[in-house]
Every structure is written in structure tokens, then in C-alpha cells.
Amino acid sequence: MKKLLLVFFILAAFCAGWYGALTYTKRFLTGENTEILQDPATLRETYAQQAAAGDAAAAYKLGEMYLSTQGGEADAQSAVSYFRLAAGKGYLPAQKELARFYQEGLAGLRPSQESSLFWCMHAALQGDADCQNQIKEAFAKNTQLYDAVLAAFTASLQARIGNGAAALELGRLYEEGFLSPDLEEASHWYSVAAEQKIPQGQARLGLLYAEGKGVAKDEEKARALLAPAAEAGDPQAQLYWGKQAYTQSEQDGGPDYTEAFKWFANAAAQGNVEAQYLTGVMYIQGQGTDKSVKKALQFFSRAAEAGYADAQYVVGQSYYKGLGIRQNMSEARKWLGKAAQNGNQAAQERLQQLPQP
């Protein structure tokens, strides 16, 4: 009997040691108790739920899974999205990975020194020595690039603690492509600014909703954002409402030229070149205002000077035909040439018809 008990205790001790070793191994390899035994597809779902709840480490691990076929199809775009989610929450490995991806053009990303340095700055702030050295090298090689990225990095830090103006700037940097074009990220930061009733944030987010860029297209949300922005004086929002009034369908009562002219003129007064051109169009046709070729040419000229191709073509045509202005072939050639260089096909054709100087 004593021998049987001894054997039992030996087996129990062996089993306990084996189980403990297995548990330790699982924790060592994964940092979790059971992940190594989970089905990869189930693990993806688990990580997705945890990431949605704000777990940065889970978002990073999910991004890694999307880089491979572990648990499902590989999807580089989703991988990058989850790395960004984790990096934005301050997860150092994700920040370093994004810096490397942008540096080398991995996971379908366009190589971008700006974006690579941007994420390296985030990692360096947490004490990463490699990124700290890279920042020193970047400063030594190109101070102009360094300063621009530093400004973006500063806006990022401020935006993440709720600064609406910084969020607006960060959204612009993403929309215009300084930090690699990313309309989804731009829409996120514009929403932060819009929630604080910043007109430019409302306008930019509203336009993204109107066009379905970075967000699902939603005209109702677009209008709800663009209406207060226009009333607050944002020229892009005013241009939007001017176009809505100008192109209003017959079912909705037809074009409202008075309303369109009001919004175009307001936006034009603030320097919006497209609005300046459209105000000129309405003056020359007498839509929503008294017809005036003189005033029309004033607005066309402003837009042309600012580089708006259609306005440059109209100014060139006016000089060519002597419409509202003294005929001048030299000026006609100058403005039609500018319009042609900016892609205006009609200007390219008209240039061929001009007499040689």
C-alpha cells in the first residue's frame, strides 16, 4: 500500500510539473494563458474584439496575423490599420513597425520619409534608442524635413489629448498626403475638430461624407455638418451650398440662382478660387444678380491669377475676342498658355488657332 501511495505521489508530482511547465511555456511564448492552444481563426476574432475595446496589444497582434494567413486570408491593408490603431494608443512595437514599413515601403505602403520619421518620433519619445538615433541622423541630413515632421508630431500629441485645432491640422496632413494619403485617418481627426464645433473641421468632414471618401457616403450627415460651417463663414462649405443651389433638381424646385450667387460670392470674398470663377460665371450670365461683364472679368481675373485653369481660359478668350476688354493677342496667348499648361483642353486647341507673333 505504501508503495502504491508513493507511486501515486510520484505520478501526481510529475503531472503537476508537466502542467506547470506547459503553462509556463504558453505564457512565455504568448504572454497569455491559453492563446497557443486556440484555433487561429478564433484567435483573430478574440483579438478583434479586444482591439475594438481599446486593447493596443491585441490590435498589434491582430495586425501581425493579417500579415500572414494565420487564422484567415492575409490582408496587408487591415494589418496596417491595426498597427495604426495600436500605434496611436502608444504601443511601442506598432510605432516601430510602422516606421519600418514606411521606410521600406512594406505592406503595400508607399515609401515615405515623412511618415517613417513621424512614427519614429513617437517611438523615440518612449525611449527607443534606434529611433532616437534615426531622428538625430534625419536632423543632420535635412533640417527642413525634420522641422516639418516635428510640427506634425507636435500636432499629433496635442490632437490625442483633445486639442481641436491640432486635430484639424493633423487631418489636413493626412488628407493632403504629407503623412501618406489616408482619408480614413483624416476623417477621424476632422471628427475630433467637428465635435468641438470648429467650422473647418465640420466642413472637411462634411465634404468627405458628401463624396464618400474615408467614410461611407452619407448626404444627411454631410448637410448637417456643412450647414453650420457655411453659416460660420467656412468658404468650402459655402462653395458646397452654392453648388447645391445652382444644380438643384426640378423635382426640388429647380436651380436657386439667388441662393447660389450668395454662397459663391461669400466664398469668393474669402479667396476661394473656384467660387471666384463661378461668381464670374453668374455675373456674365446674369444669374442671381444683374448681368455685368466688367464684374465677371474681375472675378475671372482673380481666379486666373491664382492658377485656376478654367478662369485662365476665359481670360485668354476675352483677350482673343475683345470681350469686355481691349483685344490683345499677346495677353490672349499668355493666359491661354497658362490654361493649357494646367490641363485645359479647349485652351490647347485655341492656342493652335492664334496667329503667330
DSSP, residue by residue, 160-229: TTT-HHHHHHHHHHHHHTTT---HHHHHHHHHHHHHTT-HHHHHHHHHHHHHTSSS---HHHHHHHHHHH
Q: Decide if 266 contacts 229 (C-beta within 8 A).
A: no
Residue 30 has pLDDT above 50, yes or no: no
Q: Which amino acid, one-letter code, is at 280?
A: G
pLDDT at 14 over 90: no
**What local confidence, expressed as pLDDT, does residue 176 receive?**
93
* Residue 28 confidence (pLDDT) above 80: no
Query: Residue 37: its pLDDT value, please?
Result: 53
Report helix angle 113-125 to 143-159, nearest 10: 60
Q: What is the model's pLDDT at position 212?
A: 96
Cell of 168: 484639424
Mean pLDDT of 115-121: 95
Determine the pLDDT at residue 7: 32
Q: pLDDT digit string (tens) for 202-229?
A: 999 999 999 999 999 999 999 999 999 9
Beta strands in 217-330 (DSSP E): none
pLDDT score, position 39: 87
Dihedral angle computed from the Cα positions of residues 148, 90, 180 and 143, in that order, rounded to the nearest 10 degrees: 20
C-alpha closest to that of 148 among 140, 139, 157? 139
Backbone angles phi, psi at 179, to 5 degrees: -100, 40
Lowest-confidence range among 1-5, 264-268, 280-284? Answer: 1-5
- 66 within 8 A of 79, measured Cβ to Cβ: yes
Question: Which pLDDT value is given to residue 16?
Answer: 33
CA dist 323 and 249 (Å) reads 32
Please write the tens of the pLDDT for every residue from 65-115: 999 998 899 999 999 999 999 999 999 999 999 999 999 999 989 899 999
What does pTM read for this prediction? 0.79
Q: Which residue type does 147 have?
A: D
Tens of pLDDT along 155-197? 999 999 999 999 999 999 999 999 888 899 999 999 999 999 9
The set of cell numbers assigned to 152 is 506634425
Residue 48: all three cell numbers together = 478583434
Q: How confident is the model at residue 25, as a pLDDT?
A: 36
pLDDT at res. 355: 75
For the stretch 108-145, what's the b/e string if a residue is b when 16 or more beta carbons lie within 10 angstroms of its beta carbon? ebeebebbbbbbbbbbbbeebeebeebbeebeeeeeee
Nearest CA to 232 among 261, 270, 258?
270
pLDDT digits (tens, 9 = 90+) for 279-338: 999 999 999 999 999 999 999 999 999 999 999 999 999 999 998 899 999 999 999 999
How confident is the model at residue 322, as a pLDDT? Answer: 92
Model confidence at 20, pLDDT cuts 50, 70, 90, reads very low
Q: What is the pLDDT of residues 314-324, one digit of tens each?
A: 999 999 999 88
Q: How many CB atoms lie within 10 A of CB 33?
A: 10
What local confidence, expressed as pLDDT, does residue 353 receive? 81
CA-to-CA dists, residue 329 to 20, 340, 342, angstroms: 91, 16, 20
For residues 300 and 22, the model is more confident at 300
